Chain A
Amino acid sequence: NAGVTQTPKFRILKIGQSMTLQCTQDMNHNYMYWYRQDPGMGLKLIYYSVGAGITDKGEVPNGYNVSRSTTEDFPLRLELAAPSQTSVYFCASSSGLASNEQFFGPGTRLTVL
């Protein structure tokens, strides 16, 4: 039981490049989330999903896209990378509503130059 896994761990992008951050969970959780964490700040929700085929915007969705074709996977897509997207990205999952514990992956550190 690996929990929530994220790839890659680190990535450097040039401005305007695109990439996909991968997230997979093996706990059969319906709810999945993407957060970003900027230095000295708490986590901000980018997108979330309440089940396969259903996604919705969080607090800071601009510049990102997501899809949820399976229960296990919740990839985050950056289409035109900008320096403002330099951050640490965390994927999380939970079994139900947000009052349940969220399980976090180890994070992806992204730098856009």
Chain B
Amino acid sequence: AQSVTQLDSHVSVSEGTPVLLRCNYSSSYSPSLFWYVQHPNKGLQLLLKYTSAATLVKGINGFEAEFKKSETSFHLTKPSAHMSDAAEYFCVVRGANNLFFGTGTRLTVIP
């Protein structure tokens, strides 16, 4: 069975400091993993995806994530937070015909 666990429900950082959003996954086969972002009152937008190519995946808006099989992790990082990064972030794993979403991490950026 496929599932993801987002380890923090809320992360708060100061503008210009690094961002780390943590995600662990469980998958019965080689996983496809995604990070989606949801800004307030908006639909979800794909940030990046891992599909068994390079383990370090670069996404939009300066975000990247590293797939670590030994740790079953797929953490999302960004070197320097911007005010516009404040949003809800979802780690997602692919199932047979659909996606399984984590419960989300709300990122707050303090000016």
Given the known interface contacts A98-B95, A99-B51, A99-B94, the answer about A90 and B101 at a Cβ–Cβ threshold of 8 Å is: no
Q: Are A98 and B99 in contact (CB under 8 A)?
A: yes
Q: Are A101 and B46 in contact (CB under 8 A)?
A: yes
What's the Cα separation between A43 and B32 when bound, in Å?
A: 17
Interface segment, A70-78, A79-87, A102-110?
A102-110
Given the known interface contacts A42-B90, A42-B103, A43-B90, the answer about A98 and B98 at a Cβ–Cβ threshold of 8 Å is: yes
What's the Cα separation between A54 and B80 when bound, in Å?
A: 45
Q: Are A104 and B45 in contact (CB under 8 A)?
A: yes
Would you call the interface of chain B mostly helix, strand, loop, or mixed? Answer: loop
Kindly list chain B residues whose C-beta atoms are within 8 Å of the C-beta of A59. 98
Q: Are A104 and B49 in contact (CB under 8 A)?
A: no
Closest to B9 in A: A40
What's the Cα separation between A58 and B44 when bound, in Å?
A: 19
Q: Are A98 and B46 in contact (CB under 8 A)?
A: no
Q: How large is the interface on B (under 10, 10 to 19, 20 to 34, 35 or more residues)?
A: 20 to 34
Say how far B98's CB is from chain A's closest CB, in angstroms.
Answer: 5
Kindly list chain A residues whose C-beta atoms are within 8 Å of the C-beta of B96. 98
Most buried by B among A43, A97, A104: A43
Q: Are A106 and B43 in contact (CB under 8 A)?
A: yes
Contact check: which of A41, A50, A58, A105 meets B43 at CB < 8 Å? Answer: A105
A-B complex: 10 closest residue pairs judged by Cβ atoms: A42-B101, A104-B43, A104-B44, A99-B32, A43-B101, A45-B98, A101-B46, A98-B94, A106-B43, A42-B103
Q: Which residues in B have some Cβ–Cβ distance to A below 8 Å? A: 9, 32, 34, 41-46, 49, 51, 90, 92, 94-104
Can you name 25 A-B residue pairings with CB atoms under 8 Å?
A: A4-B43, A40-B9, A40-B104, A41-B104, A42-B104, A43-B44, A45-B98, A45-B99, A48-B98, A58-B98, A59-B98, A90-B43, A97-B97, A98-B32, A98-B97, A98-B98, A99-B49, A101-B46, A101-B49, A102-B44, A104-B43, A104-B44, A107-B41, A107-B42, A107-B43
